[in-house]
Amino acid sequence: MSTVLDKLKNAEECTWINPNLKAAKEALESIEFNAEDVADAAARLERFAPLIMHYFPETKETNGIIESPLTEIKNMKAVLNEEGAALTGKLFLKRDSDLKVAGSVKARGGVYEVLKHSEDLALEAGLLKGYDDDYLKLGTAEAREFFSQYKIQVGSTGNLGMSIGIMSAALGYNAIVHMSMDAKQWKKDLLRSRGATVIEYEGDYGKAVEQGRAESDADPKSYFVDDENSSALFLGYAVAAGRMDKQFKEQGVVVDADHPLFVYIPCGVGGAPGGVAFGEKLMYGDNVHVFFVEPTQCPCMVVGLATGKMSDICVQDIGLTGITEADGLAVGRPSGLVSRFMDVLLSGEFTVEDAKLNPYCRKLWKSEGLYIEPSSCATFIAPSRISVCSEAQKYLEAHGLTDKMDNATHIVWATGGSMVPQEIRDKILG
C-alpha cells in the first residue's frame, strides 16, 4: 500500500489492485440494494418513456428510453497496441457520451432521480392515480404549474448539473445548479439557455455541494440531489448493465468464465461508476472485472479505498491540488456510500496524467471518427495498462485469466461529449 500511496502523493501514474475484492455473491449480499431494486428503477424509466418523448423528441427512435450505442473500436485498439499495449480480445466504446437529453452518463442517474421525485410528488398530489396511469399527464399545463411550486437543486462540476438542470426545467421546476470553479463555461451557458439558474463558486466541488445542500435544506419545497449519498442516482446508473447485456446479445458477445469482461470507467465522486459497477456485478458476477480511472491530481476514490478511510480523507490531505482538466472528475472526496460498496466490488484503479487526455481524444477521433470529452478519454489508459503492467498481470494470474485474454471483452465507458460546442472540439482536436 505504501508504494501506491507514495505514487499517489507524488501525482505519478499508478495501478492499484483492490486487496479487499470479494467473490461477487458474498460482496453483493453485503450491499443493501439488490436486483429487484434495479428492476424497479428500469420499470420506472419505462413508465416515463412517453413523457420523455414528449419533452425530448430526439428520443423517439428509442421509444423514450435514453440509451447509448455500444461500438467496437478496432482501429483504436490498434493505436493503443502500436503505442506499447498488448491488448487482445475485443475493445468496445460504451457511448454514454451520446446519451440523449444531457449528453453524458449523468443522463442515466440524474434524469432518473428527477423522474422518481416527480412521480412521488404527482402520486401524493393525485396528478397520477397509480403506476398504471398515463404519465403524459405530467406534461400538461396543470402539471407544469404544480411542479413550478418546487425547486430541485444540485451541486456539480458539470455533467450531473446538466442532467438535473435540463430535466427539472423541462418539467417546470425551478432548477438551481450550484457549480464549482472546475465546471466548463459552456455547460453553465447551456444550462441557463434551458431555463436553469446557475450559481457559480470560486471553491471546488465540495463547496458547491455544501452550499447547495444548505440552501435546499432551508426551503421545505426544495429537493436536493445528493451526488455523494443518493440511492436514486445509484440505481438509475445500475440500469445500464441490463441494457448493455441486450446489446451484447445483438452483437454476439459472450460473457462467461471463459470469456471475461473488463469494464473501465472514469471516476469522480463515484456515483455513476459505482452504480454501473454494481449493475455489472449483478449481471455477470465474477465474470466481470471493473476498474475505475482517475486523474493523478484528483484520485479521490483510490485514496479513500487504498487508505481505508473512504470519505474521511480527501486528495488535499495527501498534498494533491485536486485540480484537473477532467472537469467531471474534479472531486476531492469520494462518496461514502459508493466507496463502501466499491471496497468489496471493485477490482482496482488506474490513474492518468492530464497531459494524456487531449491526445487520447485526438487519437480516437482520427482512428474511429468518434468524439468524447477529454475526461472520458482518461479510461484509455486502462486497456493499455491491463495488458502490460506487472500489478495487472498478477491480478490476471490470481483470477485464472491469463490464458483467457484472447477471448476477453474490454469496455471503455465514454461518460460525456456529444454536447460539447464545435469550437471547443476544434481546439482540442487541433
Question: How many C-alpha atoms does 425 have within 13 Å on its Cβ side?
Answer: 14
pLDDT at 65 over 90: yes
pLDDT in tens, 314-337: 999 999 999 998 888 988 999 999
Closest CA to 1 of 303, 314, 345, 351: 303
**Which pLDDT belongs to residue 198?**
94
pLDDT in tens, 217-263: 999 999 999 888 899 999 999 999 999 999 999 999 999 999 999 99
pLDDT in tens, 376-386: 999 999 999 99
Cβ-Cβ contacts under 8 Å for 120 (sequence gap 6 or more): none
The single-letter code of the amino acid at 285 is: G
pLDDT in tens, 6-18: 999 999 999 999 9
When pLDDT is averaged across residues 140-166 and rounded to a whole number, the result is 94
pLDDT at 1 over 70: no
Quote the crossing angle between the two packed helices 390-398 and 381-388, to the nearest 10°: 70
For 346, the grid coordinates are: 471493485
**Which pLDDT belongs to residue 2?**
56
When pLDDT is averaged across residues 301-310 and rounded to a whole number, the result is 97
For 403, the grid coordinates are: 490464458
**C-alpha 33, offset from chain centre:** 18
When pLDDT is averaged across residues 58-65 and rounded to a whole number, the result is 96
When pLDDT is averaged across residues 212-217 and rounded to a whole number, the result is 91
For 200, the grid coordinates are: 457559480
Angle, vertex CA 162, rays to CA 160 and CA 164, nearest 5:
70
Question: What are the structural domains of the chain?
Answer: 2-102+234-429 (3.40.50.1100), 106-229 (3.40.50.1100)
Produce one character per residue of 195-212: b if its CB has 16 or more CB atoms within 10 Å, e if not.
Answer: ebebeebeebbbebbebb
pLDDT in tens, 402-416: 999 999 999 999 999
**Which pLDDT belongs to residue 184?**
85
Lowest mean pLDDT among 82-96, 134-148, 191-205, 292-306: 191-205
